[in-house]
Structure 1
Amino acid sequence: MSQLKKLAGQTAIYGLSSILGRSINFLLIIVYTAYLDKEALGAFTGIYALIGFLNIVFTYGMETAFFRFSTGKNLNPDQVYHNSQSLLLTSTLFLGSSIYLLAPWLAETMNYPGQAYLFKWTALILSFDALLAIPFAKLRLENRAMAFAGAKLINILLNVVFNLLLIVWIPVWINEGVLQADFLGFQSDWGVEYILLSNLLANGLIIPYVWWRAGFFRFSLEKEIIRPMWKYSLPLLFMGLAGVTNELVSRLLFEYILPENYFQGMTSREAAGIFGANFKLAILMNLVIQAFKYAAEPFFFRQSSDKNSPQLYAKVMHVFIIFCSLLMVAISVNLFWIGPTFLKGEDYAMGFFIVPVLLMGYLLLGVYFNLSIWFKITDKTSYSFWITFIGALVSVVVIVGLVPMWGFMGGALSTLACYLVMTVTCFWYGQKFYPIPYQTVKGGFYLLLAFGMSYVGFFWETDNQVIDFFVKNCCILIFLGIVIFMERGHLKALFSRNH
Structure 2
Amino acid sequence: MSIIKKLASQTAIYGLSSIFGRFLNYLLVPLYTYHFSAAEYGVVSEFYAYAGFFAVLLVFGFETGYFRFRDKNDPQRDSAYSTALWFVLGANLVFLLLIRLVRTPLSEALHYAHHPEYVEWFAIILGLDAIASIPFARLRAENKAFRFAGIKILEILVTVGLSLFFIAYCPPLYAKNEQVWFAPIYDPGIGLGYVFIANLAASGVKFVLLTPQLKGLIWGFDRVLFRKMVGYSLPMVVIGFAGIVNEMLDRALLKYLLPHDPLMNMRMLGIYSACYKLSILMSLFIQAFRYAAEPFFFAYADKSDARRVYADVMKYFVIFCMAIFLLVTLYIDFFQYFIGREFRAGLGVTPILLLANLFLGIYVNLSIWYKLTDRTLMGAFVSLGGALITIGLNLWWIPHYGYVGSAWATLACYAAMAVVSYLLGRRYYPVAYDLKRIAFYIAFGLGLYFAREPLLTYGYRSWQAGTLLMGSYLLSAALFEFRGLFHFRKKLPAGDSGKSLGPGRK
Normalising by the residue count of structure 1, what TM-score does the alignment of the two structures yield?
0.93
AA aligned opposite 2:114: G
What is the distance in 1 between the residues matched to 2:458 and 2:165? Answer: 42
Structure 1 stretch 376-385 or stretch 395-404: which is displaced more? 395-404
AA aligned opposite 1:409: V
What is the distance in 2 between the residues matched to 1:162 and 1:398? Answer: 39
What is the distance in 1 between the residues matched to 2:242 and 2:366? Answer: 17
AA aligned opposite 1:285: M
Q: 2:303 aligns with which of 301, 306, 311?
A: 306
Structure 1 pair 196–463 and aligned structure 2 pair: CA distance change class (3 A):
farther
> Percent identity at matched positions?
33
1:367-446 alignment to 2 at 5 Å?
367-446=362-441
- The equivalent of 1:195 in structure 2 is 195
- The equivalent of 2:278 in structure 1 is 281
AA aligned opposite 1:49: A
What is the distance in 1 between the residues matched to 2:77 and 2:18? Answer: 26
Question: Does 2:320 correspond to 1:317?
Answer: no
Q: Give the drift of 1:317.
A: 0.6
AA aligned opposite 2:21: G
Question: Does 2:348 correspond to 1:353?
Answer: yes
User: Over aligned residue pairs, what C-alpha RMSD do you find?
Assistant: 2.3
AA aligned opposite 2:17: S
- The equivalent of 1:206 in structure 2 is 206
- The equivalent of 1:329 in structure 2 is 326
What is the distance in 1 between the residues matched to 2:469 and 2:261? Answer: 38
Q: Give the drift of 1:484.
A: 4.0
Q: Please tell me whether the aligned partners of residues 147 and 213 of structure 1 are also in contact (alpha carbons under 8 angstroms).
A: no
Q: Please tell me whether the aligned partners of residues 21 and 152 of structure 2 are also in contact (alpha carbons under 8 angstroms).
A: yes
What is the distance in 1 between the residues matched to 2:396 and 2:446? Answer: 24
Q: Please tell me whether the aligned partners of residues 79 and 219 of structure 2 are also in contact (alpha carbons under 8 angstroms).
A: no
- The equivalent of 1:65 in structure 2 is 65
Q: Secondary structure at the match of 1:427?
A: helix
Q: Give the drift of 1:396.
A: 1.2
Q: Secondary structure at the match of 1:217?
A: helix
1:159-178 alignment to 2 at 5 Å?
159-177=159-177
What is the distance in 2 between the residues matched to 1:16 and 1:167? Answer: 27
Q: Please tell me whether the aligned partners of residues 71 and 302 of structure 1 are also in contact (alpha carbons under 8 angstroms).
A: no
Structure 1 pair 179–296 and aligned structure 2 pair: CA distance change class (3 A):
farther
Normalising by the residue count of structure 2, what TM-score does the alignment of the two structures yield?
0.92
Q: Please tell me whether the aligned partners of residues 171 and 188 of structure 1 are also in contact (alpha carbons under 8 angstroms).
A: yes
Structure 1 stretch 69-78 or stretch 149-158: which is displaced more? 69-78
AA aligned opposite 1:355: T
Q: 2:484 aligns with which of 477, 485, 490?
A: 490
AA aligned opposite 2:433: Y
- The equivalent of 2:14 in structure 1 is 14
What is the distance in 2 between the residues matched to 1:269 and 1:407? Answer: 12
AA aligned opposite 2:296: F
AA aligned opposite 1:468: S
What is the distance in 2 between the residues matched to 1:458 and 1:174? Answer: 48
Question: Does 2:287 correspond to 1:290?
Answer: yes
- The equivalent of 2:128 in structure 1 is 128
AA aligned opposite 1:443: I
Structure 1 pair 431–385 and aligned structure 2 pair: CA distance change class (3 A):
same
Structure 1 pair 410–98 and aligned structure 2 pair: CA distance change class (3 A):
same
Structure 1 pair 382–458 and aligned structure 2 pair: CA distance change class (3 A):
farther
Q: Give the drift of 1:488.
A: 5.0
Q: Please tell me whether the aligned partners of residues 323 and 473 of structure 2 are also in contact (alpha carbons under 8 angstroms).
A: yes
What is the distance in 1 between the residues matched to 2:153 and 2:387? Answer: 32
Give a deviation string over 1:151-179, Cα, whole Å, max 9, x none: 11111101111111111112133123264
Q: Gaps (5+ residues) in structure 2?
A: 492-506
What is the distance in 1 between the residues matched to 2:356 and 2:273? Answer: 15
Structure 1 stretch 184-193 or stretch 197-206: which is displaced more? 184-193
- The equivalent of 2:339 in structure 1 is 343
Q: Give the drift of 1:141.
A: 0.4
Structure 1 pair 87–313 and aligned structure 2 pair: CA distance change class (3 A):
same
What is the distance in 1 between the residues matched to 2:327 and 2:488? Answer: 26
What is the distance in 1 between the residues matched to 2:227 and 2:347? Answer: 48
1:19-38 alignment to 2 at 5 Å?
19-38=19-38
Structure 1 stretch 77-86 or stretch 472-481: which is displaced more? 472-481
What is the distance in 1 between the residues matched to 2:102 and 2:182? Answer: 30
Q: Please tell me whether the aligned partners of residues 173 and 179 of structure 1 are also in contact (alpha carbons under 8 angstroms).
A: no
Q: Please tell me whether the aligned partners of residues 124 and 200 of structure 1 are also in contact (alpha carbons under 8 angstroms).
A: yes
Q: Give the drift of 1:48.
A: 0.3
Structure 1 pair 372–459 and aligned structure 2 pair: CA distance change class (3 A):
farther
What is the distance in 1 between the residues matched to 2:216 and 2:342? Answer: 49
Q: Give the drift of 1:479.
A: 2.4
Q: Give the drift of 1:121.
A: 0.8
AA aligned opposite 1:83: T
Structure 1 pair 492–472 and aligned structure 2 pair: CA distance change class (3 A):
same
Q: How many residues align?
A: 491
Question: Does 2:218 correspond to 1:218?
Answer: yes
Q: Please tell me whether the aligned partners of residues 79 and 221 of structure 2 are also in contact (alpha carbons under 8 angstroms).
A: no
